[in-house]
């Protein structure tokens, strides 16, 4: 049997099909609008931990059912810059309109690492998609760490880095949605210090935990001193062999692990509308 066959055979209630060698799998044979039993949820969680990001097709979930499924995985929390609706404050709309040229979060990143407790996970469901384009890419940060030399690993292991919500390249990707949301706290700057290499609390594996969108410098160093090594890491951690690419359809749902994966929504659909709904799940303090 192939590796793919062996992985698929290890699940009893769902079908899990990897979509790339390093990260990502599609899960079939489950309707997320139903009240799934604990056995099915345990297999979904195991597939998610194994593959870092999992995808479900043809899921017809209203916001109530979307939120109900999210609560089976973790605790939904509100995003700090964009408000959700009054009925569902934990659900935000990720929208790019036909006249807009910048997409929300359109840069490689792990979500909100500028918070002291960044989210464990993020869920995204597609409501309206362009006729072509608008894919999302994901990168395996376990593999990013494991493919570094032992010498560089030993340099990085004790380091911490400062994340900021105000770095220019990512700030501009949320300007339209922040303006539309009218949040009085939208101008607040968040800063947090985290390990450069974090240990996943569920798997025990080490993952590289810096990202080009939010990591400003190493703790105790200036930005100029930090820049050469950070630039190397930013390029290394999204090499093609560490990534997968997912093509959305209406009703597609993605669940990714922010503790060990990065993502990048590809901005290649100017002139068309794309609407997604997002839920963020509470995380812990990285160690």
- pLDDT tens digits along 83-109: 888 889 999 999 999 999 999 889 999
- pLDDT tens digits along 271-280: 999 999 999 9
Q: Angle formed by the axes of helices 38-51 and 63-73, to 10°?
A: 70
Number of Cβ within 10 Å of residue 191's Cβ equals 14
How does strand 197-199 pair with strand 274-281? Answer: unpaired
Q: Looking at per-residue confidence, does 185 or 239 come out higher? A: 239
Total-model pTM: 0.91
Give the pLDDT of residue 188.
85
pLDDT of 137 higher than 70: yes
The token duo for 159 is: 């380091």
> Shortest CA distance to 109 belongs to which of 100, 118, 97?
118
* Backbone φ, ψ for residue 141 (5° rounding): -90, -15
Fold of 3-281: Double-stranded beta-helix (3.60.130)
Angle at 110 between CA 107 and CA 114, to 5 degrees: 100
> Shortest CA distance to 213 belongs to which of 268, 159, 173?
173
Whole-angstrom distance, CA of residue 102 vs CA of residue 1: 45
Give the pLDDT of residue 168.
66
- pLDDT band of 173, cuts 50, 70, 90: low
- pLDDT tens digits along 13-71: 999 999 999 999 999 999 999 999 999 999 999 999 999 999 999 999 999 999 999 99
Judged by average pLDDT, the poorest of 30-39, 61-70, 185-194, 244-253 is: 185-194
Q: Tokens 């479900």 map to which residue?
A: 56
Query: Catalytic site residues?
Result: 109, 111, 263, 278
Give the pLDDT of residue 3.
45
């Amino acid at each position: 049997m192939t590796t793919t066959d062996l992985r698929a055979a290890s699940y009893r209630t769902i079908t899990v099909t990897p979509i790339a060698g390093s990260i990502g799998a599609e899960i079939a044979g489950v309707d997320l609008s139903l009240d799934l039993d604990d056995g099915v949820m345990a297999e979904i969680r195991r597939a998610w931990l194994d593959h870092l990001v999992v995808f479900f097709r043809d899921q017809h979930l209203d916001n109530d059912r979307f939120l109900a499924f999210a609560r089976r995985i973790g605790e939904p929390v509100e995003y700090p810059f964009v408000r959700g609706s009054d009925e569902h404050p934990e659900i935000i709309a990720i929208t790019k309109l036909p006249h807009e040229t910048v997409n929300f979060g359109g840069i490689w990143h792990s979500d909100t690492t500028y918070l002291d407790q960044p989210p464990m996970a993020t869920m995204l469901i597609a409501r309206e998609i362009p006729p072509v384009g608008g894919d999302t890419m994901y990168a395996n940060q376990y593999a990013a760490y494991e493919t570094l030399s032992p010498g560089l690993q030993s340099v990085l292991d004790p380091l911490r880095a400062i994340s900021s919500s105000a770095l220019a390249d990512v700030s501009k990707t949320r300007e339209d949605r922040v303006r539309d949301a009218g949040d009085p706290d939208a101008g607040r700057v968040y800063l947090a210090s985290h390990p450069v290499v974090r240990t996943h609390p569920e798997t025990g594996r080490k993952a590289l935990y810096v990202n080009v969108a939010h990591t400003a410098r190493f703790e105790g160093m200036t930005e100029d001193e930090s820049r050469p090594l950070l630039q190397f890491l930013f390029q290394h951690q999204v090499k093609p062999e560490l990534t997968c690419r997912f093509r959305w359809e209406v009703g597609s749902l993605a669940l990714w692990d922010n503790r060990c994966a990065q993502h990048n929504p590809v901005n290649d659909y100017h002139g068309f509308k794309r609407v997604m709904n997002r839920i963020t799940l509470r995380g812990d303090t990285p160690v």
